[in-house]
Structure 1
Amino acid sequence: MGNTLPQITSYRSLKIPKIKSPCSTIKKSRSLREYTRNTSLVTNCVNSNNNNRRNISFSRPRSLPPTDAEIIDIHALRCEMSTSNIDEGEKQLIKQLNYIHSCVRKDKGLFGKITENLQNKHIFSNDEPENTHILEQTPDEYNMDYQSIYLQTLDGEFIHAYWIYQVGDINSTTTILYLHGAGGNISHRLEVLQLFHENIHCNILIIDYRGFGKSSGVPSELGLYIDAQAAYDYLIYKQKILPENIIVLGTSLGASVAIQLVSDPLNRVKVAIFENAFISVPEIAKYFLTYAKSVIGITKSIGFIYLFDSLPKVRRIECPCIYLTGLLDPLIPTWMSNTLYNETLSSTKRQLYEYPFGKHNDLPVMKDYFENIQSFINELSLIKSAETDQLVLRQ
């Protein structure tokens, strides 16, 4: 559904400024070393105890830093926020990186390499529609206050995002991390974001994955997971939003990314919402390509570089979850959301909403869509209040 983003053929060396922050050396995990074999990004940090300079080495693609908006270095943010317990902060970062790498296929295989371009085209429609790397609108055209920013990920990509905010205390309202589906860019989702902005009265962070819109790099399953983690870290470390005020919402491909993000127990959220979610890429292939059923039946991952395998991940999710699905969706069958919902057994509360006339991209305009989400959130508040009252009575 589109070619990959054209790559810059000429590069210039980047001088990375020395950043003083109380963070000691982070040793790269085995999975991270496998991923970072090229040039290294060296960030100098100062240990607050002995003031010795140490190096933290991460690989960085040779992407030129953008100049049209503020750049937030997620790695530097995490270093700065680890002042109280540096060792614990390092362990948490390594643990999260290991988990992200454990969620993707390591070996492409011969057939996978042959079909790599085909899979990129159909899974990441980052060049559709035409001229999709040009933003057509901005949030202020929809009367929403916003800031255009870039998030520099842990592996050095620059992810473009809109931070849309409500007036007042940031933790006095809910914040939604919106992970969109394949195709288009963040400017194509502004009408939907306006509906959330008005109906839920929330702050919103929406990102373009690497290779989408104005973001650098080329999309991949691993890359999308790292981008989502960077967005979550921005809310926690930069905006200092409490986890109990964050809602992660993913649609279609973004639902798979959202499932991976919240399946990590370190990424605590108030609610996770999965709209038109699918089980895995091989299962979608079986749905569309009947001749592939016998082959995929032998091994679900044969020939696939990208799996986005959500079924084992939903079994680890503990936060409250909402599944939303349109019964007329021509791309993703409804039974996939049902299957994922039934397997989300560890969730403290879960709900499945089906919309009889809903298709793939129009659920937010369906009747009761926002009422369902808001009622679910209100029920959580009632449950929390009841638990607090019981705790007070016991004391």
Structure 2
Amino acid sequence: MSQSIAAFWEFTRGLATVCAEVGTIGCRLLYYGQNYLIYPSAFPPESRTEVPTPDMYGLHYEGVELKTEDGVLLRCYLLTQRKEVVHRFALQIPVNDEMSDDEFAATRPTVLMFHGNGGNLGHRIPLARVFYNEMRCNVFMLSYRGYGDSEGRPSESRLCIDAQTALDYILAHANLRGPPIILYGQSLGGAVAIHLASRNPSKIHALILENTFTSFPQVIPHATPIPSPFTILCHQKWDSASKLPLIPRETPILMLSGERDEVVPPQHMTELWEIASRRQGTTVDSRDGNGGAPVGSGEPNGEPNSEVGNARSRFVKFPDGYHNNTFMQMDYWHAVKEFVASLCS
């Protein structure tokens, strides 16, 4: 009998040891392997091997190779404006006949695009085309390291380096450094944009943010419920809630939120808007995506503020917008065009 008890306890100790070791290994895999989950650069399949180019959409572009401070090669796209853009919705701008294409480009704002955590920059060319053709903006499309044809491996600190490298390139470009610089970020790209603007407060003129989050750990329980108990192990923070107040209140921000977002709860955008409103001490034109009446503001009582400071910031909600199709919703591009036009005026 005593031998049976001893054997049982020996088995129990062995099982506990194995479980502890498996748990330790699992935690290490979650900690050190989480970048493969957070930055799925190979999804959809062939995203690392098949990268569309702007000329496939009838756009003139320049392939730009950037070398980061840590020696990683990024392969990006630059679309600079030309005097003549053949498009039925193109913004008509009076142009001096003696002005060159380069001189014209130097009069137009530049949109620096940051895409989400899946796919590659080529998948976002249709969005760039709207900025280029219909708003007559220069467009720089950044390819993060580890995405598309860019070298390296992504992480929070490394993507921040990539974003700074792209901005530095624009600021050194003869035709781009003078006009306003607008950051456009979707989902993860919104967090990249907020970080870059917080580090370069005098260089960024405006931000356009779509379906982004307050911080990455706070979105894990909703986006990936299974590993949510291990959120404490997440070292990719992307803490936009703490960085947003560092952006000057004079910097206009357009926030675009899909109310049916199944990945990032819309509450994240609402919280970011409230933070932005406190930062600005201003204003709201918070409307639904169908041109309806105001649906709320940064003020507790829901009433629009008086026009103090920057009154050009807006928070637009799209009732039928999901995480990946908000840009297809009615009035999405109308809101963006109005915002860009207000910057140019």
Asked if TM exceeds 0.5, the reply is yes
Pick one of 241, 254, 275 that aligns with 1:311. Answer: 241
SS at the partner of 2:45?
A: coil
Q: CA deviation at 1:346?
A: 2.6
Q: Quick one: distance in 2 between partners of 1:165 and 1:150? A: 16
SS at the partner of 1:322?
A: strand
**How big is each residue's C-alpha offset from its partner over 1:64-94, in whole Å with a ceiling of 9 and x where there is no partner?**
xxxxxxxxxxxxxxxxxxxxxxxxxxxxxxx
Moved over 6 A (4+): 109-112, 291-295
- 1:123 aligned residue: 38
> Where do 1:41-52 residues align within 5 Å?
none
Q: Quick one: distance in 2 between partners of 1:291 and 1:194? A: 38
> Where do 1:1-395 residues align within 5 Å?
113-167=28-82, 168=101, 169-242=104-177, 244-266=179-201, 268-288=203-223, 302-318=232-248, 319-344=251-276, 345-347=278-280, 348-349=310-311, 350-380=313-343
C-alpha contact 1:244 1:269 (8 A) present in aligned 2 = no
C-alpha contact 1:144 1:165 (8 A) present in aligned 2 = no
C-alpha contact 1:112 1:304 (8 A) present in aligned 2 = no
**How big is each residue's C-alpha offset from its partner over 1:142-166, in whole Å with a ceiling of 9 and x where there is no partner?**
1111011210011111111001121
Q: Quick one: distance in 1 between partners of 2:226 and 2:51? A: 40
Q: Quick one: distance in 2 between partners of 1:112 and 1:249? A: 35
Q: CA deviation at 1:266?
A: 4.5
C-alpha contact 2:51 2:120 (8 A) present in aligned 1 = no
Q: CA deviation at 1:251?
A: 0.5
Q: Quick one: distance in 2 between partners of 1:291 and 1:184? A: 23
Matched to 2:68, the amino acid is T
C-alpha contact 1:111 1:303 (8 A) present in aligned 2 = no
C-alpha contact 1:176 1:204 (8 A) present in aligned 2 = yes
C-alpha contact 1:250 1:274 (8 A) present in aligned 2 = yes
Q: Quick one: distance in 1 between partners of 2:36 and 2:237? A: 15
**How big is each residue's C-alpha offset from its partner over 1:329-377, in whole Å with a ceiling of 9 and x where there is no partner?**
1111111001001101334342111111111122222211121122223
C-alpha contact 2:119 2:147 (8 A) present in aligned 1 = yes
Q: Quick one: distance in 2 between partners of 1:132 and 1:294? A: 31
Q: Quick one: distance in 2 between partners of 1:153 and 1:240? A: 21
Q: Quick one: distance in 1 between partners of 2:200 and 2:142? A: 22
Q: Quick one: distance in 2 between partners of 1:246 and 1:111? A: 44
Q: Quick one: distance in 2 between partners of 1:177 and 1:364? A: 17
C-alpha contact 1:244 1:270 (8 A) present in aligned 2 = no
Structure 1 residues 243 and 269, CA gap change in structure 2 (3 angstroms): farther
Q: Quick one: distance in 2 between partners of 1:110 and 1:304? A: 16
Q: Quick one: distance in 2 between partners of 1:196 and 1:138? A: 16
**How big is each residue's C-alpha offset from its partner over 1:71-119, in whole Å with a ceiling of 9 and x where there is no partner?**
xxxxxxxxxxxxxxxxxxxxxxxxxxxxxxxxxxxxxx99874313542
Q: Please give the TM-score of this superposition, normalised by the length of structure 1.
A: 0.63
SS at the partner of 1:354?
A: strand
Q: Please give the TM-score of this superposition, normalised by the length of structure 2.
A: 0.72
Q: Quick one: distance in 1 between partners of 2:185 and 2:140? A: 12
Structure 1 residues 323 and 210, CA gap change in structure 2 (3 angstroms): same
Matched to 1:215, the amino acid is S
Root mean square deviation, CA, Å = 2.3
**How big is each residue's C-alpha offset from its partner over 1:250-286, in whole Å with a ceiling of 9 and x where there is no partner?**
1101110000000124452221111111111111123
- 2:9 aligned residue: none
Matched to 2:246, the amino acid is R
C-alpha contact 2:51 2:148 (8 A) present in aligned 1 = no
Q: CA deviation at 1:183?
A: 1.3
Q: Quick one: distance in 1 between partners of 2:30 and 2:320? A: 35
SS at the partner of 2:42?
A: coil
User: How many correspondences in the alignment?
Assistant: 269
Q: Quick one: distance in 1 between partners of 2:64 and 2:34? A: 30
Structure 1 residues 322 and 281, CA gap change in structure 2 (3 angstroms): same
SS at the partner of 2:324?
A: coil
SS at the partner of 2:125?
A: helix
Structure 1 residues 294 and 216, CA gap change in structure 2 (3 angstroms): closer
Q: Quick one: distance in 1 between partners of 2:191 and 2:179? A: 21
Matched to 1:145, the amino acid is H
Matched to 2:37, the amino acid is H
Matched to 1:339, the amino acid is E
- Between the aligned residues of both structures, percent identity stands at 30
Give the gaps of 5 or more residues in structure 1: 1-108, 297-301, 383-395
